[in-house]
């Protein structure tokens, strides 16, 4: 019988060369970012970078992360890719998020103008609200309020994106968050204009300007409204938890 020998592979311990290369790249990117943006660099970084020790490399990495904050190595690398002069793509191709936000802004604006021109959207129809309105009038009024809410959240997001690009804090994953925030903004605007307005003002004082303003505020501050509602839910949950423990 033939003897079968089993070969065992020794597990690799320590930090791989791939990780070391990635850290070196991040350190150089952060140094370049800090220099081009006039940020103060800790002088200890120079000494740490000169050494080949992985501990010194980690030290330089940690110091630079503090220097470039709120930017991160990931956001800096993404920003450099956007501004890469060798890439001949337009800014809308490099930043699909901005392109999608602009397209959505135009769609919301078109819906806002279209519904505003309709005779079904007026002070009287908006005063009726969702409970006392129906059919085509209800649909057009909801589209009108949703478009105002959408314009509010798009206005907020475009300003946020431009600030993020300027500060080097934009990352690819922001696209998912922003798309979800648009949906939250439309919902928040409808809640503010159709539900909260019934309790804030009397039925005779709720008019086109009031509901439009509430929808715009709801869309613009959708993130804050979500946080407020979440904190209320947490407080209610804590009351029930305390009562259950007392029993």
Cis peptide before 232 (omega within 30 of 0): no
Determine the Cα–Cα distance for residues 144 and 121; give it in Å rounded to an integer: 8
The model's pTM is: 0.70
Determine the Cα–Cα distance for residues 201 and 204; give it in Å rounded to an integer: 8
Q: What local confidence, expressed as pLDDT, does residue 150 receive?
A: 92
Could you tell me which of 101, 105, 81, 104 has the C-alpha nearest to residue 92? 101
Determine the Cα–Cα distance for residues 176 and 174; give it in Å rounded to an integer: 5
Distances (CA, A) of 14 to 10, 19, 20, 122, 159: 13, 10, 11, 70, 44
Could you tell me which of 139, 216, 229 has the C-alpha nearest to residue 185? 216
Determine the Cα–Cα distance for residues 45 and 207; give it in Å rounded to an integer: 61
- Reported as a single tens digit per residue, the pLDDT across 184-232 is 889 888 888 877 665 555 555 545 557 888 888 888 887 777 787 778 8
Determine the Cα–Cα distance for residues 45 and 57; give it in Å rounded to an integer: 9
Over the chain (247 residues), the average pLDDT of each successive run of 10 is 50 69 85 85 79 79 87 87 69 77 92 89 76 82 90 90 85 85 88 68 54 84 78 81 60
Q: What local confidence, expressed as pLDDT, does residue 198 receive?
A: 55
The structure tokens 């020794």 sit at 10
Structure tokens at 189: 């605007």
Q: What local confidence, expressed as pLDDT, does residue 1 receive?
A: 46
């Amino acid at each position: 019988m033939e003897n079968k020998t089993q070969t065992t592979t020794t597990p690799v311990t320590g930090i791989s060369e791939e990780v070391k290369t990635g850290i070196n790249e991040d350190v150089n990117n952060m140094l370049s970012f800090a220099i081009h943006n006039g940020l103060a660099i800790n002088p200890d970084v120079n000494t740490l970078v000169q050494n080949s020790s992985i501990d010194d490399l980690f030290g330089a990495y940690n110091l630079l992360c503090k220097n470039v904050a709120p930017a991160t190595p990931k956001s800096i690398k993404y920003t450099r890719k956007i501004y890469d002069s060798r890439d001949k793509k337009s800014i809308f191709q490099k930043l699909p998020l901005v392109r999608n936000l602009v397209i959505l802004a135009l769609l919301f604006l078109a819906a806002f103008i279209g519904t505003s021109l309709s005779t079904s959207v007026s002070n009287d129809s908006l005063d009726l609200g969702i409970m006392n309105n129906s059919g085509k009038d209800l649909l057009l009024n909801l589209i009108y309020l949703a478009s105002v809410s959408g314009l509010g959240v798009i206005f907020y997001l475009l300003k946020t994106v431009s600030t993020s690009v300027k500060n080097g804090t934009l990352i690819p994953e922001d696209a998912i968050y922003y798309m979800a925030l648009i949906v939250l903004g439309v919902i928040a605007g409808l809640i503010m204009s159709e539900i909260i307005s019934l309790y804030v003002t009397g039925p005779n004082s709720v008019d086109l300007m009031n509901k439009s303003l509430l929808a715009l505020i709801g869309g613009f501050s959708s993130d804050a409204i979500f946080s407020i509602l979440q904190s209320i839910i947490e407080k209610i949950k804590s009351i029930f938890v305390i009562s259950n423990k007392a029993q």
